[in-house]
Amino acid sequence: MSKLMQHGPAFLLAAFLVFMGIQKFGAENIIFATIAERSGISLFEPAVRMATGVGEILAAALLLIPATRLLGALGALAVIGGAIVFHLSPWLGVNVAMAPGAAPSPMLFIMAIAFFLLSGLVLIQTRARRR
């Protein structure tokens, strides 16, 4: 197996997780604010947002090291799986505005599905190499 096929999916997933994770540490996030408002649980914004960002960055770091890649893939599945669950809940939905005043779009949900599948691929690849 070429080095690109061996490490490429994990590096792509790590880059996605870093990109998404860094965004959690800025100002209020419309996604988490929407969940907090619709659920009535104020803990979602900012506490759960920050914890999610930490989880994404940690999973990304673990993916970059071959010895910890399995844990990184499991962490990515957990974080992204959580995002999918919230998209399927009445608190967020599949179509969501990505910025205040923007039209709702399924883009975040589609990205979550795609990167959840990529996380599964990385998990399968990592387990296969360990055998």
Domain borders along the chain are: 3-130
Report the C-alpha gap between 121 and 112 in whole angstroms: 14
What is the overall mean pLDDT for the chain? Answer: 94
User: How is residue 59 annotated by DSSP?
Assistant: H
- pLDDT band for position 8 (cuts 50, 70, 90): very high
Mean pLDDT of 102-109: 95
Mean pLDDT of 56-82: 97
pTM, full prediction: 0.92
With CA atoms as reference, report the closest residue to 91 among 52, 131, 53, 38. Answer: 38
Say if residue 3's pLDDT is above 80: no
Report the C-alpha gap between 77 and 115 in whole angstroms: 9
